[in-house]
Amino acid sequence: MDQQMIRMVPIGINVVMSIFTFFLTARLIPSLKETFITANLCGQDMSKRDREKKIPEALGVVCGCTFLITMFLFIPVPFSDHILKNAEFPHNEFVELLAALLSICCMVLLGFADDVLDLRWRHKLLLPTVASLPLLMVYYVNFNSTTIIVPKPLRYLLGFSVNLGILYYVYMGMLAVFCTNAINILAGVNGLEVGQSLVIASSILVFNVVELFGNMWKAHLFSIYFMVPYIATSLALLKHNWYPSRVFVGDTFCYFSGMTFAVVGIIGHFSKTTLLFFIPQILNFLYSVPQLFKLVPCPRHRLPRYNPKTDKLNPSVTIFKKSELNILARLVMWIFRTFKVVDWQEDSEGMVTCNNLTIINFVLIKLGPLREPTLTTILLVIQIAGTLLAFVIRYPLASVFYDV
């Protein structure tokens, strides 16, 4: 068999296992609904007329578990050739696979703990950092390459490459924190958490397939092994989470997804490209900064406000006294108002009503009230447009900055 074929066999097995996992997960989720409600793991859908109905929450844990089981069963497959032929065993590749799974497994556990215990925001930053430690350790042992190539326009200042040392590990840890939380704060509309994660995963998969025939094929093959079962389990979840949601995904799912993307980005050496697929999440994060850093009051929920009369969603708002804002908050909000990216209403007594700063509400202030599935679809189209932009930046534009 030639080299190309040898690469294809494990992918084939991976795809078959993933299809099986899809059907398993799709059946498992509805059958576990009652168990979750009995355990009081449920929430109310705030954008429906019937708010009394209990919707089981944190079903992302089912998805995470079926993903992990599939991957555990898959572990011997890429190494079967070495095992059967008794050839020299690639211990470094093996440990990468194990550490990647350990980090994801740890994140599913910590995410589930968050759903059960309702942790505070500072814990949400700590958990992904802790879960990424096994991975960073393996990165240290296997590569420890902390040198980055400087983009062409900056080379006259910094030279061809810069060794970031420990800072590179800080960057990788922060990548895990960002990927997990960025998905979690772009949420609150049926199907959005899973939908955006599926677009990101598919984008990574397309990128891997394109790169599979290049020099770095091993890293991309590694990523494909993770992305295919990830997509299968998430599709099964989306089936039940799409409007009208029968289950909620919980923070477990956001952590599980973000960590999976960070893991393949780090081990596959394409963390910058991974970040490119997060353009809407980056914009949502930047737009959210005034509320996340408490410059402007941030209510517990920022999801859109439901109008039962029209069955449409309106932007949700935060209300505060203008005089309570500090100088930095005033400056930032002045910039936002100048660029007309917020809906800012001020009354004669200085009380301000401003939309909550998420791109979900931004879409609503620009397009007017929308039905929930329409809003989710528009946000997913934005996500896909982000991916197309990412590919333009990654391929044609990259030659402006790097020798590719």
The stretch among 91-99, 121-129, 158-166, 250-258 that binds Mg ion (CB under 5 A) is 250-258
Give the shortest CB-157-to-Mg ion separation in angstroms: 41
Report the DSSP beta bridge partners of residue 320: 352
Determine if the peptide bond prior to 244 is cis (ω within 30°).
yes
Select the span of 46-54, 184-192, 228-236, 326-334 touching Mg ion (CB under 5 A).
184-192
Q: Please list, in sequence order, all residues whose beta carbon lies within 8 angstroms of the beta carbon of residue 75, skipping any fewer than 6 positions away.
A: 97, 98, 101
CB of 251 to ligand UD1, least distance (A): 5
Q: How far lies 270's CA from each of 147, 153, 203, 220, 223, in Å?
A: 14, 21, 13, 9, 10
For residue 48, which of 371, 399, 335 has the smallest C-alpha distance?
Answer: 371
Instruction: Give whichever of 57 and 211 is closer to Mg ion, judged by the CB atom.
Output: 57
CA 130, distance to chain mean position in Å, is: 17
Containing 137, the helix (H) or strand (E) segment is: helix 121-142
Cβ-proximal residue to ligand UD1, closest one: 43
Site residues, ligand UD1 (CB under 6 A): 43-47, 57, 184-185, 187-190, 245, 248, 251, 301-303
Give the nearer residue to ligand UD1 in terms of CB position, either 30 or 43. Answer: 43
Residue 357, sorted as left (phi over 0), alpha (psi -120 to 50) or beta, turns out to be beta
Q: How far is the CB of 188 from ligand UD1 (least distance, A)?
A: 3
Least spacing, CB of residue 317 vs ligand UD1, in Å: 13
- Pick between residue 134 and residue 250 the one whose CB is nearest to ligand UD1: 250
Q: Is 181 a residue that touches Mg ion (CB under 5 A)?
A: no
Rounded to a whole number of angstroms, the CA Rg of the chain reads: 22
Q: Which is nearer to ligand UD1, 194 or 276 (CB)?
A: 194
266 touches which of ligand UD1, Mg ion, none (CB within 5 to 8 A by kind)? none
Task: Tell me the residue length of the chain.
Answer: 404
Q: How far is the CB of 189 from ligand UD1 (least distance, A)?
A: 5
Question: Residue 208's binding partner, choosing from Mg ion, ligand UD1, none, with beta-carbon cut-off 5 to 8 A by kind?
Answer: none
* Number of shown-chain residues binding Mg ion (CB under 5 A): 2
CB of 363 to ligand UD1, least distance (A): 15
Query: Are β-strands 344-346 and 161-163 bridged in parallel, bridged antiparallel, or unpaired?
Result: unpaired
The residue among 301 and 340 lying less far from ligand UD1, judged by its C-beta, is 301
Member of 66, 132, 184, 252 binding Mg ion (CB under 5 A): 184
CB 187 to Mg ion: min, Å: 5
Q: How far apart, in whole angstroms, are the C-alpha atoms of residue 113 and residue 99? A: 21
Structure tokens belonging to residue 163:
């060794």
Closest to ligand UD1 by CB, 14 or 47: 47
113's tokens: 């703990």
Whole-angstrom Cα distance, residue 40 to residue 15?
35
Q: 101, 17, 23, 97: which is closest to 64 by C-alpha?
A: 101
Looking at beta carbons only, is 249 or 375 nearer to Mg ion? 249
Residues 94-153 touching Mg ion, rule: CB under 5 A, are: none
Give the number of other Cβ atoms within 10 Å of residue 53's Cβ: 11
Picked from ligand UD1, Mg ion, none, the partner binding residue 46 (CB below 5 to 8 A depending on kind) is ligand UD1
Closer CB to ligand UD1, residue 39 or residue 170? 39
Which is nearer to ligand UD1, 123 or 269 (by Cβ)?
Answer: 123
Q: How far is the CB of 135 from ligand UD1 (least distance, A)?
A: 24
- Name the minimum Å distance from CB 157 to ligand UD1: 37
Which of ligand UD1, Mg ion, none lies near 302, with the C-beta cut-off 5 to 8 A by kind? ligand UD1
Sign of CA dihedral 44, 48, 49, 50: negative
- Examine residue 251 and tell whether it contacts Mg ion (CB under 5 A): yes
Amino acid, res. 361: N
- In whole angstroms, the minimum distance from the beta carbon of 350 to ligand UD1 comes to 26
CA dist 363 to 181, 284, 317, 358, Å?
A: 21, 11, 14, 9
| Contact (Cβ atoms closer than 8 angstroms) between residue 315 and residue 376 | no
Q: Which is nearer to ligand UD1, 44 or 202 (CB)?
A: 44
Comparing CA positions, the residue from 72, 114, 46 lying closest to residue 252 is: 114
Positions that interact with Mg ion (CB under 5 A): 184, 251
